Amino acid sequence: MFFRSQEPPGYMVQCLKRYKWIGLVSALVDAFAVYYVLCRIDTTNYTVRFRLKLGNLSQMYLLFKVVLHMVVIPLYTFSGSFRSAWKTVTTRYNGEVIASFKDMSQIDSIRAQIVFNYMWKDKVKFVLRAFAMVIFTVLLLTLNHHWYRLLSLFVMSIWFTVMCFVCTVQFIFFPDSARLGEPEGSQQPATHKAVANIVVIHTIGIITGWSLGNYLAVLDWREPYMFFPTCNIIGLCIGHVVSSIIVALSIWP
């Protein structure tokens, strides 16, 4: 869909800015969750049942974050507003279809639809291949094949893939300026480099956090959060927090 607008160029830059800051907010929620588990939960005289319950709650938290990063964060990143997303009105002018808007924020809603629909099959294939690589590596490295552990690793692999690739894949397969109604050259090479840096930083940070969780699991600490899968999820959250802070402070735009 083509349209004209009075909006200054730089839609991709605006989306990157939104993504890094909303990602930081999501990471701060992870930081609070880790703080709550480590410092606020009464672990005196805990039982094995309590330990399993804590692990199940941790996995439910991961699934909540998966939904957040698959739906809410992409919508906000590319539309700039939760309320006006997907609400567009079209009209004709001189035989050319353009878009008329109630407010300027709806311009990004139109563009968000273009971004999401652009090469969507390739995006799905990219994410599925990334998930296949993650789950294959995880299963290759695990020695315990109990169904509960495998299920937990499956959930963690989904979380890892969603955090690292679901939103950034939209930037990797980003429409050209003409499709978005922007002047030529509005997508500068620096923005594409920033996308690559974001993917690398998040991937390395979360892998490091996952490794930290595995290390915590082998320590002889008699705390309920130092057992699988809670300790691994704590490590994942720490890795997400650190990588998001690095992205927010060092990636420009």
Q: Enumerate long-range contacts of 188-195, CB under 8 Å, 24 or more apart.
A: 188/13, 190/252, 190/253, 191/12, 191/13, 191/16, 191/253, 194/16, 194/251, 194/252, 194/253, 195/16, 195/168, 195/171
Q: Say if 3 falls within a structural domain.
A: no
193 token code pair: 């480099």
* 105 lies in some domain: yes
Q: Note the pTM of the prediction, 2 decimals.
A: 0.82
Give which of 77, 87, 32, 233 is closest to 152, Cα–Cα. 233
Does residue 4 fall inside a structural domain? no
Whether residue 160 is contained in a domain is answered as yes
Q: Can you give the pLDDT at residue 183?
A: 63
> What mean pLDDT, rounded, does the chain reach?
81
Which 8-state DSSP code applies to residue 102? S
User: What percent of the chain clears pLDDT 70, i.e. is strictly above it?
Assistant: 79
Report if residue 6 sits inside a domain: no
Which positions ≥6 away from 24 have C-beta within 8 Å?
244, 245, 247, 248
pLDDT at 253: 57
102, part of any domain: yes
Listed residue (217, 228, 242, 70) closest to 153, CA to CA: 228
Structure tokens of 53? Answer: 């319950």
pLDDT in tens, 157-201: 999 999 999 999 999 888 877 677 666 655 666 677 888 889 999
- Is 99 part of a structural domain of the chain? yes
Q: What is the pLDDT of residues 21-73, one digit of tens each?
A: 999 999 999 999 999 888 878 777 777 788 888 889 999 999 999 999 999 99
What is the span of the domain harbouring residue 102? 11-250
Counted domains in the chain: 1
